[in-house]
Amino acid sequence: MTDGRFPRCANCGRQDARTRLGDTQLCDRCVNASLSARTGWPSLPDPPPVETVRAADGRGVRVRYRLIWAPSGVMSAEAEEADQPPGDGFRFQVHGEHDADPQAVLAQLRQVVQQEVSRAYLEPNAFGVQVAGSAWTIAGDEVAGRIDWSGDDAVPEPSVVIDGRRLAWDAFGRLVASFEGWTFRMRFDDSSASLGSGAGGADEGAAEGADAEVVPLFGALTSDADDHVSPVPSIDAVLAEFLSAQRERLAASTFGRYEDIIDLLRHCLNGYGYQSLSGEDAQAWQEAFDAGDDEAFTRLCGPDRVVEHYGEFLGYFMIRKVLASKQQLKDAGTVTKRLAGWLAEQGYVDTDAAEVARECAATAGRDLPRADELSHQLFLAAQATRLPGHPDEIPDEDWIEDHLPISRVEDGRLWFGDVGPVEVPSEVSDLAVVGWEVTVVLARLDGVWRLVQVGVVYP
């Protein structure tokens, strides 16, 4: 079944070319045939035809299926609500190893579809929130969904898809307004790894027992149980593949921010990644670099080298080298978390390493914008300090210049290492976190420690 939303396949002409393989845009059937011919992987059958699944509210949901090879050898079965614009409706995904039975993977996906589509988080209510011409409220005290683009680049707030229905952000706010005074928790899951989300995801358990392969360095060859040998792609190739996959699902403005973060990540890897190399790997990089290849690391190294540098990228590089904005810091956490999960799905990194990287990215996405705001507020507090004379006139015991951890936080007071309390406005202490490090200049004036200068805050 073709789809006019996508370009024509460069090979067969079907108007359903969703995947870029090298420089060529191909439909699923031609991608599968090309990868099977190159690698010896078995041919994949065509997916089931569009079928109608009965939703909890009685409506029929038409579901379109896909079954494709990822270039890494992972079998990906996907389902999406047909007759809906990209991003709307239900979406589901299940992965299997290259030697898995395609019919078993499709059967698992269809089970996910039946289970999730038949579960309702919304119920009709004449006094509820209007969604697509009907009024709805939350059924029970639990709701789950998918966060998506608003549909308009001029609208910064996202939309929310619940039970396959898209709600504007303000409509979602009205939907939960009836719970005023309640407490709530929010947990964000990758849509391809959350069977119980009710939002169109596949179970993390779907890939249990199918550990992803750890990819060696410098284009080494990998082989499967049948001794089919294929080269490991470079970091550059894999990052390009990742962006191509994201382009299909993201709005233009959001995709531009993804490109920005991936470009910064490449700069970080090429600037500092070589320090992790040793032996023949280090020698090969050095020879290429000395020959004028400034991007030798991402051109020569395999994708397993990406996640091991997350700490350096999200900490030192984004804070010290990029001097990133709050939006960039937030985007860095979001994009790198998505990248780590995608690398594991494609079999490019070990699942344990990917999970560590996802945790690192999630923490960075939460902490980096807050640390940036703390740095700004500390700077403003330091600007308010007036020294009685020249700094050289202040006794050494009353003058501190150092890179120190925040060791204690109270309302309006901070301790830096063993120094404190340092009086600060409440909005500063509200942001501070014990263990974060700050470069500070402190002066004790009339027996009270004051901020004089402040550098970067490192979470």
pLDDT value at position 123? Answer: 81
Q: In the prediction, which pLDDT does 153 show? A: 66
Q: Quick one: tokens of 329?
A: 């810091």
pTM value? 0.49
Q: How far apart are CA 432 and CA 430, in angstroms?
A: 6
Structure confidence at residue 5 (pLDDT):
64
Residue 333 in tokens: 């956490």
> What is the residue-wise DSSP string for 141-179?
T----EEE--S-TT--S-EEEETTEEEEHHHHHHHHGGG
Residue spans of beta strands (DSSP E) within 186-344: 221-223, 229-231
**CATH (one of 2.40.50, 1.10.3470, 3.30.1360, 2.40.10) for 385-458:** 2.40.50
- Which is nearest to 78 in space by CA: 160, 200, 194, 162? 200
Q: Which two tokens stand for residue 231?
A: 């080269």
Q: How would you write the pLDDT of the chain (459 residues) with one tens digit per residue?
A: 445 567 888 888 887 787 776 667 888 888 888 878 877 788 888 888 898 988 877 788 899 898 887 655 678 888 888 877 666 788 888 877 777 888 888 888 888 888 888 878 888 777 777 776 778 788 777 788 778 776 666 777 888 888 878 888 888 888 887 676 677 777 666 544 332 233 333 333 333 333 333 333 444 334 444 444 445 788 888 899 888 888 877 777 788 888 888 988 988 888 888 888 888 888 888 888 888 888 888 888 888 888 888 888 887 777 766 666 667 777 888 888 888 888 888 888 888 888 888 887 777 777 777 877 888 788 888 888 888 777 777 888 888 888 888 888 888 888 888 888 888 888 888 888 888 888 888 888 888 888 888 877 777
Q: What are phi and psi of 152, to 5 degrees?
A: -145, 120
- Buried-state track 353-371, b at ≥16 Cβ within 10 A, e below 16: bbebbbebbbebbebbbbb
**Running DSSP on this structure, what letter comes out for residue 397?**
G
Tell me the domain boundaries of the chain. 17-115+191-207, 122-179, 221-376, 385-458
Contacts of 3 (CB under 8 A, 6+ apart): 15, 16
